[in-house]
A and B are shown apart, each in its own frame.
Chain A
Amino acid sequence: MALWLTLASLWLLFVLLVPKRGFGTISERLRQTGRGDRMYLFGPPPQLGSGHLAAVGGETVRLIEIGLPLYILGLRAEAQGQRQRATAVVVSEPPTPAPKAHPSRPRQYVMPPMAWRREWEAMLQREEHETSLAEVSTIPLPVGPPSTSSPLLTIRTLGTFQLLYQDEDLAPKLLTRPTLCFIWLYLLSHSALEPAAPVHRQLLAEELSPGLNGEQQRTRLRHRLYAYHRILPPAIAQRIRLEGDVVRLEPAGTSFDVASLRRTADEWASGTGLLPQDVVTEVESAIAICDGEYLPLWDELEEKLTESRGAAGDLVQSVRQLVQDIQVRLLLRLSQHHQARRELPRMVPLLEEVLRRRPDRQDVVSRLVAAYRQTGQVSRAEQLETTHRPEFTRTRGTQDT
């Protein structure tokens, strides 16, 4: 009898105290359960039915599975983990959700109401009558270039119009005087096309007042130039240089985006082969800048001021064409860089963009077809060949010979 009692006790102690599984993972399981990463030390209790007895049965199975000491430790860790999860869910004071993202729109110039414009014109007329023409002729206009120590005037014209001077945008001040704005932008566009060439006064007078006789045109221009230096901020006004019969925009002390693009293109677009890495970044940035239209406000300004009767619109159109040409040159140059690096997949979109802008460039078609073939895009190559078949065949024939 003593033997059977002893053996039964030993068996019961084994069943109650000894864990039956997961010996090597107990400490990690306890840690994760205590942290709240796990709900149970092993698994949930088996669902043996409904009611309290079934729950007791399920818990008994768990107890037998892991032994009494671990079962007690596990219950403690599970309660601790439950508290951890409860505190993690509670958020003391939820912050406000972020609003939908919206792009920062460039400030577009809107022409002021005509009533305002008439008031300005009347005010200008009054001031002009008070000042005699003799006095006008003695007004000392700056002759030399502005001091090089003064801060830069940054002129942004592509996709926007900004005149940044000491963190202030002076463009709104200029835009409130449409006539003066017209003169300034005309000279700016002229300097973009021919940086060193000045404009004759008579030409400017004709553009400003088309349809008037020569004397009226010159008088009106003189009045406007006088008002220019009196009304506008010096950072803008001092850029206009009067030298005898010619007028020009002084480029010193300015940072003009079109001029910068032109410099970049002249410096880098003519070469072949690899570009330095910093230049690649500069060229990519220049290509992106070129996407903006030159002086988007010009058409509206010209229509309101001269009803587009002069040739100033053609001048601005020429600058827009110049910017597009620069972009195409830079795209081609960048594509040559990628070709030299054997980065054909990066070259393809550049050539596609050039072809979209200049569909007549057969040399680009040939390069693009070759790039398509080398990158395994045979169907696209054949499609492009079919589209440009006569020209392409002729070009290839010329190249072969």
Chain B
Amino acid sequence: MQKNALRSRAGYVLTDHGSGTTRFLTKTLPRLKLFCNRFHGIPGRKIKTVMKLTALILLVGCLHVSAGTRSQTVSISGKDLPLTKVFNLIKKQTGYAVFGKSSLLRQTDPVTISAVNMPLADFLDSVMKGQPIGYRMIDRTIFIVERSTPFRSAEQKTTVNGQPLSLDEPTPRQTITGTVVGENGSPVEGVSINVKGKKSGATTDNKGKFSISVEPDQVLVFSHINFHPREINLKDFPANGRIVLKQKEATLSDVVVTGYGNVRKESFTGTYTQVTKADIQKVTSNNLISALQVFDPSFRIMQNNLMGSNPNVLPEFYIRGQSGFPGIKELDKLESGSSGVSQFALKNNPNTPIFIMDGFEVAIEKIYDMDINRISNITILKDAAATAMYGSRASNGVVVIETVLPKPGEFRVNYNGNYSVTAPDLSSYNMMNAQEKLDAEYAAKIYEPYVPPSDPGYKANLLEGLWQMQQKKNEVLKGVNTYWLSQPLSTMINHRHNVYIEGGSQGMRVGIDLKYDNQNGVMKESFRKRLGAGLTLQYQTTKLQFRNQIYFDAVNSEESPYGKFSDYTRLQPYFNMYDENTGRYVKELPNYNANQVLNPMYESTVGNFDRARYREWTNNFTANWFVTKFLFIKAQFAVEYKDANTDKFTSPESALYGRTDLFTKGELNQTATKNLSWNSNVFASYNRTIDAHNINVSLGVNGRSTRSEFSSALYRGFANRGFNSPAYAFEITRKPDRSDNLARLLGSFATLNYSLNNIYLFDGSFRMDGSSEFGTENKWAPFWSVGTGMNLHNTKYFKNFPYINMLRVTANIGQTGKSNFSPYMARNTYKILLDDWYPTGIGSSLTYMGNNRLTWEKQVSWNIGANLTLFKRYNIEFNYYNKRTYDLITDVSLPSSSGFLVYRDNIGEVLNKGFEIKTSLNIINNKDFSFTVIGNLAHNRNQIMEIAQSMKRYNTRIDDYYGGYNNSTSPSLILYYNQQNAKFAKPIMKYEEGSSLTTIYGMRSLGINPANGKEVYMRPDGSITYDWSPMDQQPIGNTEPWAQGTAGINARYKQFSLFTTFMYEFGGDLYNQTLVDNVENANLAYNNADRRVLSERWQKPGDISTLKAIQDRYFVTRPTSRFLQRNNYVVFNSLSLGYDFDPAWLKKKLGMSFLRTSFLMNDVARFSTVKREMGLDYPYARTFTLTINASF
């Protein structure tokens, strides 16, 4: 089949094998070819037809495959071959496209030729010898043109080929042509060729070719920014026209992608990390954000121990330390009862960097759901010089993502498939089994009454307790030993497919992107499904380029109906989840303590669900206008529409509704969010090298508008699980609620990048931002940065050290901002009181006390850095930074007689300083074997310099909160109080000047008194006590590590490649909450616990132990330094092993141009000094992925 298709593409074998597709192809292709041939100079309507047809063919069975080898040589032999046939063969063999008027070819004569592996250019020259046509090759396209002067001269060149130019030609002026190549033989584009002393000149095309009109005896000067200039006297002009230029050391023709145009890497003074798609694919198969951690030590994801590997939880992260107070503080979260990480909390995370995708700011969720195959490259911009052009959004760093653009040429199909196995990782759990648990209960004497033996009820209570123990023992003897941990989990197989079809002419290109991704989480039935399709069209002439990308994405996700993992981990192993008689799940588990326990396994069967989905349309239009060689204007306009819904249903059959009224059973909560945003950038960029000066200036404006609408409704009373649509609800519990929000941003910016002799560098940028969210008195904000640097390796002195390929020092300073406050916070706003009307009409009231002077948060940061490359193989980069974030937006408390409790003002200051080291050592590099070691490290220190009064009040609120601890030892209520007090076991962060945003507060502990198993504390004044008091809390540790980073190796042997990464962290502290909750405070009467309860708790006088007495059920251990542990760890983050198939073999055997398979494993192993349970509400998982990348 494939072969047929191939042949029919070639156009001269039109066999019908009965396949409809083939028939279709044979019918349409000749027509298509005709269109293509006519393309040069025909109106756009027909191009469209071609496009449509092409797209159609591509979609029908994806048969449009080509054996194009991309080689630049041809082997064609034959007698009297018509040129049409010759070009078909060229197309087939080289993969080059051929365009031109077909009428031109009709005028040509057939040729007789015998060529074996002849270079294409030579071949074309020879077949066109004496013909009325010429050609021009641009990229991978051969344009057939009528023979005109320049091409005639090319003809001439071939005729003079072999002999030096004769000086006594009758015409003194002549045109010479040639090719400029580098030392490695590859052609060099953009070399300017000047006649010495004259203004006239030429430039090489992308094949390195040039032609220039000269007089004899003149001297030609070849110059290019990355090459040493060369002068050649025409007398010495080589016969084959081949000019070799010597490359300058450490070629960095690359550019830094800033999102607003590209800046030459060599002259850029900002700090950034650039990552390509290939790099990312080595580390992850689908989690882009976590992969970025590997490449930049300052990019860090906050570990979410609660949500583990839940595919539906977005990560929280920051760059170069945290610099803002959280939007919702810990205590407020606790008191409002909202869960840990919601979308809302993330929006309020004051440290999240912004993401710019193809010039357009996008939400984190979009990045999270993005297919990594769409990425071309990612740049993390870190300091002021790199980010200042983002103005009021820049302070947290900017991550710029560029997506792939279709490449011209024959249509190619790229397939990427991932097949992975995800298995839950329970290695951090160490729960007791039924027998052990029973032993522990005996040891803890939980059967013993709380009343003293003198009490008259003592004996009865004791008997009751023993009776219950006996019942449990009977269960154990019956063989009940439920391993609850594994019940809601399963090992999942996931697969993901991406097809990218690209191709077209140099002038018109098409890219079609299709993706399917199904990620099942390890909690049963939790998943995230992503579907996407995109179409990219690009039209290009020599001066203009238009590109339109349209994308549609659909994501459906569902949380596990099995509920939270933590609902299982604490269940007693001697509980039988099945009814002994019926074999079905029991609704309630046995009740030994007058404490109702629902069976979560039963709950999983009643039909609860928690679903979310969104649909997103994005259209991104870009126009590039290359006004002159130096001036370039770009205009971008992007529109995005997103429609998201969530449905959360609690089935009426849930055991939660045991005794409630029929009409109130079952609940459905629906929310809908609609976002419409647009973004427009227009900027001009002027880039020119004049002698030793290189100037790059950009000017532009940027406007953005985001409108969001949110609505929610709560329905109650459902007949059964199937009737879960709102239509079946008995009532609307709450009037559907709707809110909307519009935010706009307008900015104009200018940047300048200048270098002198490629040695002295200067960067400057300025941006003015206006935001609808700022106060009326401060609508506009200026931001700026300046940077300077020196390329020492280009100086004369360092030329003496040829092994120093690069040595650059840079320094920059700038002011950026961030505005992470809620919309309208700066303004006096009225809220319409919709709940009910006053008899004389609808009313409204002031929402907050606006602050007209409210401004963005500001950050002044400076950075000094050095970058060194030795022997072209060893690279090391060092940066030291200091970021002072001030005017932090915080609540300022007011006396309530002002009418309000708080208003927002700019108070507060946070300092982050630290350094980063990045190294890459290419130790072995030869044809078959290469071995590179990479490593990076970042150190950051965070300090709160100033806080508002309200933060101090917040601190006292924390003390009040702990004051809620109930000290009562009333025997009958002790277990009740124990449960009520359990929440006080968690340390809550305070904000104090001089400490950091990651400080842990608690009582300083002196350990467990071996005499009685009680903890001894030391107060800040040095006195010793048994009593825990919130006032005596002090900073006991800091979660921020001294350093963190990544190390890894990247090795290649022949076609095998190996990439491993290890992430490490040391010097930070961790409060071992699971040790507190599950061992120290374990409530053995109600819950299962860690095995360490039996082995590590104090049992009798004289025991030297770090954990309190096992018999102690009275007191909940509140934050103490006893549970503070040094958190040093190394995670074997990823291991990937890949194999690249030999292209020649592939072409021959499979007709493919590229095939790579790789095996990837994430979270291979973890070595940590802290032993704690990982993944509380959702377990962690290990993933094994097999990836196939193929191109046809």
Q: Do A and B come from one complex?
A: no
Q: Which A residues contact B (CB, under 8 angstroms)? A: none
Q: Which residues of B contact A (CB under 8 A)?
A: none
